[in-house]
Chain A
Amino acid sequence: MTATLPAKQVPSPGAPKRAGGWTLPFRERIAPYAYVAPFFLIFGVFGLVPFLATFYIALFEWNPIGDQTFIGVDNFTRMLADPRFWNATSNTIRIWLLSTIPQLAIALVLAHVLNHARLRAAVFFRMSILVPFITSVAATAIVFAQMFDRDYGLLNWLLGLVGISSIDFVQTVWGSHLMIAVMVAWRWFGYNTLLYLAALQAVPRDVYEAASIDGAGGWQQFRHITVPALRPIIIFTIVTSTIGGLQIFTEPLLVARTTNLTCGAVRQCQTLTLFLYEQGFGRYEFGYGSAIGVALFLMIILIAAVNYLLSTRIRGEGR
């Protein structure tokens, strides 16, 4: 993932247009296109074509190894009437909220602390928080699933020590959501912390020093210097976390991998992408799976648009 860093790097619109017009030789005019072509070619083949194909396939009853029948919008009407679709949607949104809010809050506080001038072994801590991010998501899910196990899990053993009886995290709605949210948050807080930290490095130390001299405590510095300085990057992480959160797949797949892609007996932790996968690859209904994919795409666009509107407003107030 390429990190779009603060807007400072955008060239000012007043810069002179040196390369404009038709005065340059053909080779030089074509060069920039040649440089960007590989990305667009690969994007076309592996991004755009499948993307458009998804919309096309959604209009069919499409058996990957059999017949394809055009059925118009039937897949969509079926989807809207399918309780499993709405269940997956609400699961996805709840897991996303449960994971994103604590994750970004922790990242914000951690970034503030790690940026502190007097922190010893800062490099060690800064590197350490990225460890969860580079750990394989499958390994994470398997380890967490064992920790949260009803009979043999570490967590229930600890709860047992203080006299709380075993909790079946996987089989309860809130338990499975909490478990997946913890996994997601654990994996991503370090990444977001680093983004915040990178942005904070751009804030001159003098500001903090001046604040200290004026008698501002850690909390006041956090509220009045760190958070305002990070406003654009916070918006960026909210957008990326939203897109990622709506696509949570591996964790629920591995948490309840004995239950045939439903993530629990009553689909209590089945997310939208897992539901899509169940339909497409568990039941080989590519048409219906594609329709779910289209719905997910529209949902992400919608939420991204809302985010964009909110973020432009916040920025406007900030200035």
Chain B
Amino acid sequence: MRLRTSPPLALLAAAALVVISACSPGSASGGGGDPKSFEFWSFSGIDQQHDVDVYLRDHPDLQVKLTEVGSTTETAQALTTAIAGGKVPDLVLIQGDDMPKFVQQPQNFRDLRESGADQMKGDYLDWVMEQATAEGGQIIGIPTDVGGMAVVYRTDLFAAAGLPTDRESVSKLWPTWDAFIETGKKYVAATGKPFVDNAPTSVFYQAVNQVSQKYYDDAGNLIYDTNPEVKAAFDTTLKALEAGISAKISFGADAWNAALPRGDFAVVSAPAWMLDQIRRAAPDTSGKWDVATIPGGAGNWGGSYLAIPARAQNPEAAWNYIKEMQSPQRQLEHFLDVGSLPTTPAVYDDPKLTGQADPFFSGAPTGQIYTQAVLGIKPFHMGPDTATIGSEFLNALTNVEQGSGNPATAWDDAVNNIRTAIGK
């Protein structure tokens, strides 16, 4: 970025959008439009193209323009700028963590109750639906999948370490996070190699999603600094770090993808949506993996929603797509093809789902394992700063993991950083 204009380019672009939006007439109610085509923004890595292809196979007369904008965050950012003044898509996929910010401003989205979403909402998990419902009752998103949690492990490496390898016995190794850490110590002692990819995402992000209240209480007040459940998850993670079982490789880094096929760690906490990433990062390790239950009981990390912006040109076409493709039956088919977990409990007993055996993961019944993980969930309130608070906690723990942070002050550092970041 070496430009001769002085003010930073990104801000200029933003300001330009804002200025343009200030001049454009505020047409809040999109309507009519072309019922035969719509524009769809998704993030990459979740294979929405598959769903679109299925839809177009049944409706050859329709047209769908799918754009994979980028990562989940990039997609939410693009949507934000589009809402602020650009051309919005007719349909957009929003990740669960990005949802609270949009739910706070429901006027930017079509209230899907008008299209009949209130009749459908009973089909979906209550707490998932709750997170897409604004204070005034507007429903701005229909959930496409949830991120039930489990632990994925390498059977060959477990065998080499003298640990059991079948998924029932492995699940019994770690009913709690403390037991998980103990197992990790045994593995490290036997092999001399790290056990888990990293503690901040594989321990903290899982444990902190198994609470009854997270960073907000049920009334929406901030309690991140006083909630003992959050502190406990944080301390458990510090304990895992002290035990020296972590490979210290951040999830999502290039090194993570490089370490996976090499067996540089034996265990990853993997929500349902991560299975496909593991499969693609290490195709040669097929059959060497298996799936065990998560320590500490049920929990959820991630999941996504489909929403229709208020200024959409062709909202009818977009809604028809949601209605058809997010029906329980279609979500089941999507799971069987791609692997992300349905949000519709009606299909959780379906023999097709429970009978699904994934050969890459040694024939693990992923449908059964992951649905069990989400059925036991105690839902908690998500607020506008949930994502920011989470990443500040994560950063403080990563700092300890990388050897620069002091575990004794890590909690205070994290709380201070959060105060600076969100101003309260």
- Please give me the residue from chain A that is nearest to B387 by CB atom: A260
Do the beta carbons of A258 and B252 come within 8 Å of each other? yes
With A151-B249, A281-B10 as given contacts, are A50 and B16 in contact (CB-CB < 8 Å)? Answer: yes
Tell whether, in the assembled complex, residue A64 and residue B11 are in contact, meaning their CB atoms are under 8 Å apart: no
Interface residues of A in 259-282 (CB under 8 A from B): 259-260, 262, 265-266, 273, 276-277, 280-282
Distance between Cα atoms of A137 and B1 in the complex (Å): 9
Q: Determine chain A's interface SS by DSSP, over half rule.
A: helix
A243 to B3, CA, bound (A): 8
Question: Contacting A152 at CB < 8 Å: which of B102, B252, B258, B421?
Answer: B258
Chain B CB within 10 Å — which of A1, A137, A151, A297 has the most?
A151
Residue in A53, A78, A168 whose Cβ sees the most chain B Cβ within 10 Å: A53
Interface flag for A124 (CB, 8 Å):
no
Binds A, one of B80-88, B182-190, B339-347, B357-365: B80-88
A284 and B80 form a contact (CB under 8 A): yes
Report the nearest B residue to A142, measured CB to CB. B254
**What is the interface residue range for chain A against chain B?**
35 or more
B6: chain A residues at CB < 8 Å are 51, 243, 297, 300-301
A125-163: CB near B (< 8 Å → 1, else 0) gives 000000000000100001001100111100000000000
B2 touches A57 (CB 8 A): no
B219 within 8 A of A: no
| Most chain B CB neighbours (cut-off 10 Å) among A1, A64, A244, A283 | A64
A168 engages B1 (CB within 8 Å): no
Is A115 at the interface (CB under 8 A from chain B)?
A: no
- A290 B420 Cβ-Cβ under 8 A: no
Q: Are A65 and B11 in contact (CB under 8 A)?
A: no
A232 proximal to B (CB < 8 A): no
Could you tell me if B254 and A146 are in contact, using CB atoms closer than 8 angstroms?
yes
Q: Is the CB of B16 within 8 A of A49?
A: yes
Option from A47, A249, A259 in Cβ contact (under 8 Å) with B395: A259
Interchain Cβ contacts under 8 Å between A and B, 24 examples: A46-B16, A50-B14, A53-B15, A62-B18, A64-B17, A65-B84, A65-B102, A65-B105, A65-B108, A83-B420, A151-B259, A152-B259, A172-B404, A247-B1, A258-B252, A259-B250, A259-B395, A259-B398, A265-B404, A265-B405, A281-B14, A281-B81, A284-B80, A289-B11
Taking Cβ atoms with an 8 Å cutoff, the residues of B that contact A are 1-19, 73, 77, 80-81, 83-84, 101-102, 104-105, 108, 249-255, 258-259, 264, 388, 391, 395-396, 398-399, 402-405, 420-421, 423
Q: Could you tell me which A residues sit within 8 Å of B by CB distance?
A: 1, 45-47, 49-51, 53-54, 57, 62-66, 78, 82-84, 137, 142, 145-146, 149-152, 168, 171-172, 188, 240, 243-244, 247-250, 258-260, 262, 265-266, 273, 276-277, 280-284, 286, 289-290, 293-294, 296-297, 300-301
